[in-house]
Every structure is written in structure tokens, then in C-alpha cells.
Amino acid sequence: MTSLFSAESTADEVLEGVDLSGQRFLVTGVSAGLGVETTRTLLAHGASVVGTARDLAKAERALKSVREAVLPGASLEVVEVDLASLSSVRHGADALLSRGDMFDVVIANAGVMACPLGTTEDGFETQFGTNHLGHFVFVNRIVPLIKSPGRIVLLSSAGHRRSDVDLVDPGFANTEYEAFLAYGRSKTANVLYGVALDDRLREKMIRATALHPGGISTELGRHLTPETIAAMRASAAPTSGSKPSQPQRKNVPQGAATTVWAACVASPEDIGAQFLEDCSVAEINDSGSSGGVKSYALDLAHADELWTLSEQMVKETFTFGR
């Protein structure tokens, strides 16, 4: 599909003239960076937002100026959800379900990147457990709260090009741990989860998509080392013999643009089960050149395999739409 926007577009530019009054959004990870900017932009156009954060005090500090600018008729609320703890994820989801308030769009924005080797509260490798499994349980549990038609927007990364998921050894029990490799696995899992979700929910007119927001300097990069940065650049650069190109850097307003484009502007039929970048649908690119989406990340059979493994790991089954 053709988009009027580009890598340079900001979230405000994407939503110029768009009235979101009466619409409700859920955004995970609203204590910093893209989560704050996404929330600010949605609220500025009349939407109501429920945000999630592991640290409520930190989120409230980050959202102080945003809250003061909420338009009449809109609202902002933050609920506690720690994606690295399935008990916290389930408690947060159950609290929302008990209230029964519906959402037009769910945006899975939260995540961690290139962490040292570690595990979540439930014993999962930190990045796979937080970026994928935490959202897998949280979003699946609140599917009954998503309106029809509705959308689910999952933030992935160009880092998915670094690695496919490893369905045999997701926790690096028998694989040497490398931080950006683990990040790549988790980001591919985000894309595959979107493909599987879209397949299960499209008959209910709920479409799911995943995206790369761009290379942005936020708190997400707090664990980056010079070695990790070098691995990221090597992954993004062409390997066909041409001069390597560095990934384009974006500021935070530009980084939130593809998120709000997917959530509010793009046609759901065009973006369902797709991977987006720079406010457009990415093309499959299995070469060594930069950009695009790896075909393994859009394979439905592969997505179903990950879904089955994820259910086994979290010890919970989700059968909606099947």
C-alpha cells in the first residue's frame, strides 16, 4: 500500500486532522520514550488511554505534563503490569476484565533490549520472557475487551533480522548467550505473534500487525555495549559488497509515527499480519541488504508453532477464534 508519510514523519503529522474522541487505547510501557510520546499524541487528538507500567511512580512522573494537557472528554489512567512477572500480568489483565471497559486499539509498546543474561520471575530468558511471553499472556487475556472492528499493534524491531526464534532452545540452555541475538529472537517472536493473532481474530474484524519504529535513542538502549552496538550495525548493514549503510536515526516523535499510523490511519485490511516500517508495509527481504522483513517472521505455520510453544511455557491455553 502507498502511504502519504515517510521515515521523517512525526506522530503529530500522521494524526493531523484525525479526531479520536470517544476512542479508547491501551498502551503498554508508558513510563518513558515511545510509550509516553504515543500516549501524548493519542490524548492530543481526543482519545482516552489506559497505560501500563512496571513502576507506577516513574510513569506518573513521565506523564505529568501529558496528564495536564488531557482534552475534555478524554482520560488517562495507568495500571501496574510488570511484563517480567506472569502473576503481575495476569493480575493486571484480570483487573481490566473485571471492569469490562472496551478498547478500540491495544498497543504492545513495552520491552527490553540487549540485556545481560538473566531470567524473569518465572524463569524465562529475560528478553523472550518480557518482550514476547509477557505480552502473549497479557494481550491474549484482554482480547474480550477489544472492540470489533479493532486493532492490535505490536512493536517489534529491525532487530528481528538478526535471528529467527529458536523453538528448541528458547532460553539459551544449550546455546551461548549473546544479548543482541536474544533480542532478535524476541523481536521475531513479536512479529510471529502478530501473524498468529491476526489469523485467529480476523473473522471478528480484529486485525493484528507488528512494526519497526526506527532506530531511536531511548531508555530501551540502556544495556547497550560497544560490542552490542557493533552487532546491531552489522545486522542492519548490507552484505552484498556494496558500501554499508547505517540505519537511519529517528527522534522520539518520528519513532512513534509508525505506531499511530498503524493504530489509527492505515487500512486494517492492508496491515493485518504484516510488518511495518516508516509508515508503510515492509517488503520481504531475505537478502543481506538492510530493511524489510525476513520471510521467517511472516510464516503462519511457524507462528502457530511458536503459539503452541508459548502456551506450553506459560501453562495457559488460548482458543479464541479457533
* pLDDT of 176 above 70: yes
Element (H, E) at 197: helix 179-201
- Determine, yes or no, domain membership for 84: yes
Parallel/antiparallel/unpaired status of strands 280-281 and 275-277? antiparallel
pLDDT at 223: 45
- Whole-angstrom Cα distance, residue 43 to residue 211? 21
Q: For residue 60, is it within any domain? A: yes
Least confident piece of the model among 42-56, 73-87, 247-261: 247-261
Residue 320 lies inside a defined structural domain of this protein: no
Structure confidence at residue 242 (pLDDT):
39
Contact 211, 155 (CB under 8 A): yes
Query: Is 5 contained in some domain?
Result: no
Question: Are the CB atoms for 97 and 145 separated by under 8 Å?
Answer: yes
183 is catalytic: no
Answer whether residue 4 is part of any domain: no
Query: What are 151's strand-pairing partners?
Result: 105, 207
Q: Is residue 123 one of the residues assigned to a domain?
A: yes
What CATH number did the domain enclosing 305 receive? 3.40.50.720
C-alpha count within 13 angstroms, C-beta hemisphere, residue 104:
15
Whether 318 is covered by a domain: the verdict is no
Count of domains observed in the chain: 1
- Catalytic residue, chosen from 177, 183, 193, 296, is 177
Residue 2's pLDDT is what? 66
Lowest-pLDDT choice from 20-34, 238-252, 259-273: 238-252
Distances 108 to 41, 169, 178, 190, 268 between C-alpha atoms, Å? 16, 25, 24, 9, 17
In a domain, 38, yes or no: yes
Q: What is the span of the domain harbouring residue 283?
A: 11-312
Return the DSSP state at 173: S
- Mean pLDDT for the stretch of residues 25-52: 98
